[in-house]
Amino acid sequence: MRAAIFNGPGQPQSVDQVDIDRPRGREVLVKSVACGVCHSDLHFADGVWPMMPPAILGHETAGIVEEVGGDVTEFKPGDHVIACLALFCGSCEKCLSGNPHLCFNTGATNRKAGEPPRMTYRGKPIQGILSLAGFAEKQLLHENAVVKIPEDIPLDRAALVGCGVTTGVGAALNTARVLPGSTVAIFGCGGIGLAAVQGARIAGALQIIAVDMFESKLAMARRLGATDTVDASANDPVQAIMNLTGRGVDYSFECIGLKKVAEQAIASLKPGGTATVIGMIPITEKVEMDAMSLLSERKLQGCFMGSSRFRLDAPRFLQYYRQGRLNLDDMVTRKGTLGDIDEAFRAMKAGEVVRTVIMFD
Ligand SMILES: [Zn+2]
Ligand SMILES: [Zn+2]
């Protein structure tokens, strides 16, 4: 099969042949149909987060089950599925307490030592990103990495629910539990930020303030539910949020991955408010919070995959899509093929797209 190979930070991806094994045990072989190019892929491609080359990126992926291992009972060939990087063992304390995204034992879903690798490239094992390999024509996955979805949902839209949409909508609904009538500020209107805007709208927030440097993204945020927008290239966003709200917001979301923006998200809270950091801040950095913020019960929390139980949440979010409450159509701004990934990264950095979705034949 063909796959886009990550050759190291800052280097172009090359499309090349990769060998893939057949499913064993609880594995499913999925034919990739669509894969969104997510900002986290860019973090790995740029070397902000470490990833040993060669490897295969792509983790916002939807496809069709082609073959299943002998112990698989929940899936059959022909099933439409979304894959999710938050795969789970199903039996650890976190899984059993309803937090499978924090699973202690995801290693249990890997192949055992002595078994052949799932994929090989030029005769050597090759890894996909976070157990997935969305930029490959096929993926061999543990069944706990996939969820079955209805066949009437277009797979290019469904793919977004594999990461960005679940992360942003889940951050509002699950992690922060935004209350009806509350005020919200969203810093960064890329795919995850726009999904958080939609999550806040679905939750019934009264005021949703979107912050970004690009007017095109702010226009999209207004289209998707923002009641106010702040152009951070021309204004101090914290001051602008104070001007719009009087005392700050109940909930803020950092959706870029910058220490400075995380601290702005804290500074824009009213007393008792909660800042949720969704963006991937470089791992060597620390986020600071002053003592007055703590005394006034402002809270800072992390977020992984929108605290989602993706087997439950992904079908729910797709039902929101069916009902017209979650807009996925406007979030797919461009489509491409395997050779277009570097261009997709460039367009993402330039603020030209919400999502490029890579399509397979
Ligand atoms: Zn677990
Ligand atoms: Zn992602």
Task: Give the strand pairing for 14-17 and 124-125.
Answer: unpaired
Distance 344 CA to ligand 2 centre (A): 14
- Residue 40 has a pLDDT of 87
Q: How far apart are CA 236 and CA 246, in angstroms?
A: 15
């797209």: which residue's tokens?
353
In whole angstroms, give the CA distance from residue 266 to residue 263: 5
Q: What is the pLDDT of residue 361?
A: 81
- CA of 339 relative to ligand 1 center, distance in Å: 36
How many whole angstroms from 245 Cα to the centroid of ligand 2? 31
Which of the ligands is closest to the CA of residue 304? 2
Residue 22 exposure: Cα atoms within 13 Å on the Cβ side: 4
CATH says 168-304 is which class?
Answer: alpha beta
Question: What is the rounded distance in angstroms from the CA atom of residue 85 to the CA atom of residue 141?
Answer: 10
Residue 352 pLDDT: 87
- Tell how far the Cα of 95 is from the centroid of ligand 1, in angstroms: 4
Two tokens, residue 245: 């709200």
Task: List % helix, strand, coil for the chain (3-state, nearest 5).
Answer: 35, 25, 40
Tokens of 134: 């969305």
How high is the pLDDT of residue 233?
Answer: 94
The class that CATH gives domain 2-161+328-359 is alpha beta
CA–centroid distance, 23 to ligand 1, in Å, is 22
- Residues within 5 Å of ion ligand 2 by Cβ? 38, 40, 163
**Whether the predicted pLDDT of 15 surpasses 90:** yes
For position 298, what pLDDT does the model report? 98
**pLDDT band per the 50, 70, 90 thresholds, residue 128:** very high
Asked if pLDDT for residue 91 goes beyond 90, the answer is yes
Q: Is the pLDDT of residue 351 over 90?
A: no
pLDDT score, position 276: 98
The Å distance, Cα 144 to ligand 1 centre, comes to 10
Percent of the chain exceeding pLDDT 90 equals: 92
Å from CA of 59 to ligand 2 middle: 6
Query: What is the distance between the alpha carbons of residues 263 and 261, in angstroms, rounded to a whole number?
Result: 5
Q: Chain centroid to CA 248: how far?
A: 27
- Cα 34 to Cα 135: distance, rounded to the nearest angstrom: 9
In 29-154, which ranges are continuous DSSP H helix? 39-45, 93-96
- Dihedral sign of CA atoms 341, 259, 246, 298 in order: positive
Q: Is the confidence at residue 61, as pLDDT, over 90?
A: yes
The per-residue DSSP string of 45-56 comes to HTTSS--PSSEE
Q: Is 201 helix (H, G, I), strand (E, B) or coil?
A: helix
Q: Are β-strands 80-83 and 146-148 bridged in parallel, bridged antiparallel, or unpaired?
A: antiparallel
pLDDT at 204 over 90: yes
144-162 pLDDT, tens digit each: 999 999 999 999 999 999 9
Residue 50 has pLDDT above 90, yes or no: no
Q: What is the mean pLDDT of residues 111-132?
A: 94
With cut-offs at 50, 70 and 90, classify the pLDDT of residue 282. Answer: confident
Work out the pLDDT band at 265, boundaries 50, 70, 90: very high
The domain segmentation of the chain, as residue ranges, is: 2-161+328-359, 168-304
pLDDT of residue 294: 95
